[in-house]
Structure 1
């Protein structure tokens, strides 16, 4: 496992646009109150390599890092392709997703600062599960606001969190002022990450000993997730004799795109090589339920509905956009992060969007060939890989394709059943 996180901010193709912060209190004041100071510092670290604290490294190794890089031989055989397809297996971690990589780090820094309670939001539940487990590791309480439609679709993720002692509430929540306002306007609101972020931040503001943690969208989260790309680079070289970016081969890194943390964690360590001339394509797979990168407008907007976060320049569906309650809770964002949007705007990152049925059909194919059941979000990345393979075969290319298997689908079986039962 890498002993350092990689700060890729200096490798971005352009400077990040300035944020707008006109709230009262300002988003900066809110953040200073609810976030651990070490995490705020890691939003713009001065060093290129940031040391992973020893206790964080120990816990990550205990949970199974480094995770395997799996060559999908049976999928390749089924497709009849000369492409070499690799899956970065984050689904093997105890909470079934890559989210544990930053949850452990953030919980550690919160405990170091003397915070007693972790407060956060969660979409499909993988992030909430990871925070609940990380809280137990460092002797902290956890309070989690889960998007209402996902809470109803995926009750077993709630059960997991509650087994760890976490308190789980639906969002929009009657326990917060912003939640009550949303419910007054729409009593059957399915919830979104925008509502859940608002609920969680307001709840944390009312509790001085609480720390609010973000599962995505923040630079410090992307920093912690660079373990993904760093491990892939070493595993390809040392275990498989591969190097990404060979000219004319059509190599790809592919990840689903919700808040951007799995995507930036995988691709961030490769931005320098790409800028130096490596022939490497970066591809984001999103949901047609919230197609920000493929159909959104490049504009200023907030991640939440309560005005607690700053306005950042990114691809957006608009703050009033309510994504339909599809079974891809981690991709139901209305606004993309500044970094992901900048990569898209500058032509570094390509993007495709899939209907959930197409994505889950790709997930089913992976199960039938490799025996791996991925979360609906990760299955979008598999669907993107299938398109890349088809185009490569048509052009007689033999690319190396790395797909981030960001989460397990074993607690998403109901969703798979409902979408694919007639197919």
Structure 2
């Protein structure tokens, strides 16, 4: 039973940005001649997730069971005015943050994990599998699978597997099985290891392993980001934010979020696209992974092995091996097609900040608001701080998405 307060804020429908894009989204295309990677999606994604991936419907009904689980894991998440930070910055405007770290797994990832696990369970499959970078998505997948009594096999990028041991414990507590990627569980992983036993891993490799594992074990692949269905499920963030702002009589002049593949950012900002044309929207990422400034807007592979279809996106190339920065969720070589199109058309601006700026931003936010943000979210906070400094005399209302807490990422400060 959903409480009266939550029912005012948790939406009944997810929002799909596709009908409101400035031009039609370029469709995916097969990546290899010897088989159809598009048809392969029928074998690895839950059928309902695949339908939602290609729909032109503006809204999708959220199943009642999913809404009930949203409430159980902490939705709606709080929208908080950062008055201490405003005072510290001597800012004449207003700063709000949407705190997705308040969910059970500590990040936004659980929003789509619950939906996908629910649909997979309804199909009666053997289990679910996915990749994870920093571990937030792996944690969300493990919990969502556990809620629906499904086994979960998770391939964690090796460098993060080493850097973030506590994330492995969380996934294990949620009954998930996690291995470093590249691994010996798949043919593709064994191939990579034979060429370089010390390969640090990439999200592209992890995706390839998870897809192969899904095909071999009648599992379903859980989509962390990039694909539009995941961004649609994440729209619960932005829809809640709009309602919360409306209830207190506020209007967002600026929206800022971080981008790995695009799920938290798209979920947070896309619901504002159709009816907030004057709201400035800024996507920020790591300058160590400069997909927007140095990547190409082109058709490229989503995974290293080329099992999944090619999509048109900003990309540094599927074979890009990023530096071992602590923001593991921002190491992905590309960005979602819908976000890429909106950046290409100028509706969304982009920014890139380095790890030192991020550490300083996390420290500032912690010492004013008390929240220790995830390294990924620290990029959004850093961009917000830079924006305030550049617009000190403008009384704008800025809303930033703090997409997760960093309590399991404190090694960044060692």
- TM tier relative to shorter chain: over 0.9
SS, match of residue 273 in structure 2: helix
Q: Which residue of 2 aligns with 1:267?
A: 269
Separation (CA, whole Å) in 2 of partners of 1:182 and 1:31: 24
Separation (CA, whole Å) in 1 of partners of 2:137 and 2:233: 14
Separation (CA, whole Å) in 2 of partners of 1:114 and 1:303: 27
How far apart are 1:46 and its partner, in Å?
A: 4.4
Q: CA deviation digits over 1:338-357, x for unaligned, max 9?
A: 11110110001111111111
How far apart are 1:320 and its partner, in Å?
A: 2.4
In structure 2, list runs of 5 or more residues that go unmatched.
1-9
Alignment of 1:359-378 (within 5 A): 359-378=358-377
SS, match of residue 391 in structure 2: helix
Separation (CA, whole Å) in 2 of partners of 1:179 and 1:44: 30
Separation (CA, whole Å) in 1 of partners of 2:408 and 2:351: 25
Separation (CA, whole Å) in 2 of partners of 1:86 and 1:266: 13
How far apart are 1:16 and its partner, in Å?
A: 0.9
Q: Quick check: 1:241 aligned with 2:249?
A: yes
SS, match of residue 343 in structure 1: helix
Q: Which residue of 1 aligns with 2:295?
A: 296
Separation (CA, whole Å) in 1 of partners of 2:128 and 2:72: 21
Q: Which residue of 229, 236, 241 corresponds with 2:238? A: 229
Q: Which residue of 2 aligns with 1:404?
A: 401
Separation (CA, whole Å) in 1 of partners of 2:383 and 2:167: 27
How far apart are 1:44 and its partner, in Å?
A: 2.5
Separation (CA, whole Å) in 2 of partners of 1:318 and 1:6: 30
Aligned length: 404
Separation (CA, whole Å) in 2 of partners of 1:55 and 1:74: 38
Q: Quick check: 1:13 aligned with 2:22?
A: yes
Decide whether aligned partners of structure 1 residues 230 and 189 sit closer, same or farther in structure 2, where only a CA change above 3 A counts: same
Q: Which residue of 245, 256, 260 corresponds with 1:258? A: 260
Q: CA deviation digits over 1:67-107, x for unaligned, max 9?
A: 00010000000000012111101001010000000000000
Given that 2:134 and 2:328 are in contact with CA atoms closer than 8 Å, whether structure 1 keeps it comes out as yes
Separation (CA, whole Å) in 1 of partners of 2:295 and 2:13: 35
Q: Which residue of 144, 153, 169 corresponds with 2:163? A: 153
Q: Which residue of 1 aligns with 2:5?
A: none
**TM-score (ref. length: structure 1):** 0.94
Greater shift in the superposed pair: 398-407 or 181-190: 181-190
Q: CA deviation digits over 1:241-289, x for unaligned, max 9?
A: 1023xxxxxx211000001001110111111124xxx321110110112
SS, match of residue 87 in structure 1: strand
Q: Quick check: 1:214 aligned with 2:210?
A: no
Q: CA RMSD for the aligned pairs?
A: 1.1
Q: Which residue of 2 aligns with 1:102?
A: 112
Given that 2:31 and 2:307 are in contact with CA atoms closer than 8 Å, whether structure 1 keeps it comes out as no
Given that 1:252 and 1:399 are in contact with CA atoms closer than 8 Å, whether structure 2 keeps it comes out as yes
Given that 1:30 and 1:205 are in contact with CA atoms closer than 8 Å, whether structure 2 keeps it comes out as no
Alignment of 1:141-180 (within 5 A): 141-180=151-190
Decide whether aligned partners of structure 1 residues 218 and 321 sit closer, same or farther in structure 2, where only a CA change above 3 A counts: same
Q: Which residue of 2 aligns with 1:247?
A: none
Q: Which residue of 2 aligns with 1:196?
A: 206
Alignment of 1:80-91 (within 5 A): 80-91=90-101
SS, match of residue 352 in structure 2: strand
